[in-house]
Amino acid sequence: MTRLLEEIKQYQSEFRQKAPAEKQRLMAEATAELAASGIAKGLDVGDTIPYFTLPDVSGKPVAIETLLEQGPVILTFYRGGWCPYCNLELRAYEREINRIRAQGATVVAISPETPDFAEQTANKNALSFPVLSDVDLHVSRQFDLVFDLPDYLIEIYKASGLDVAKHNGNEDWQLPKPATFIIDTDGVIRFAEVSSDYTKRVDPQTIIEYLEQ
């Protein structure tokens, strides 16, 4: 088992020990409902991505076309810096960033967080790769990743002191599914992993092995 998967397993174990049973039940129910709904399946291998430009943490526009001119791009869509699984995943990419760059590839993380909150996420996890803000989820929608949080889950989040709306700069209470894509220099998706279960993440090791092939 890789380090990221071990860290996720450890966090899940702690969550099961600490969180109220009803909260755990409802969160699991929301995940099952999302999977069963069939919505937000995400783009797939062989699809050409929509070209986009998004601001980084300093507000500077970053164009995916420019990055693809330098080599393949690993796009990882995360829910927000408030999500422990997202932070574990982002840190795992940072651990492997030199090996990824050795393959000529660039990692780019995208979330619906405003640039201010994205900057907090980047700083907290000491990230050296671009962290972009997809406020209002325009790009995430083009990648077919966006879903509405059910009302009961919104209440759970609020009761936990988690204000997703504040992080996202709107009252939509929408999120992208966690997703990882490897995009070649022609803008074609060569690897795609989209999960309805926010606790499941692709290990960077899998990405590196794919790049090495």
Query: Exposed, middle or buried, 192 (CB in 10 Å: 0-12/13-18/19+)?
Result: buried
Residue 1 is predicted with a pLDDT of 67
Cα 182 from Cα 207, distance rounded (Å): 8
| Strands 146-148 and 131-133, bridge-based pairing | unpaired
Answer whether 191's CB lies under 8 Å from 197's CB: no
Q: What is the pLDDT of residue 173?
A: 94
Q: Does position 197 have pLDDT exceeding 90, yes or no?
A: yes
| pLDDT tens string 165-187 | 999 999 999 999 999 999 999 99
Name the domain count of the chain: 1
The CATH number of residue 136's host domain is: 3.40.30.10
Domain that holds residue 178: 3-212
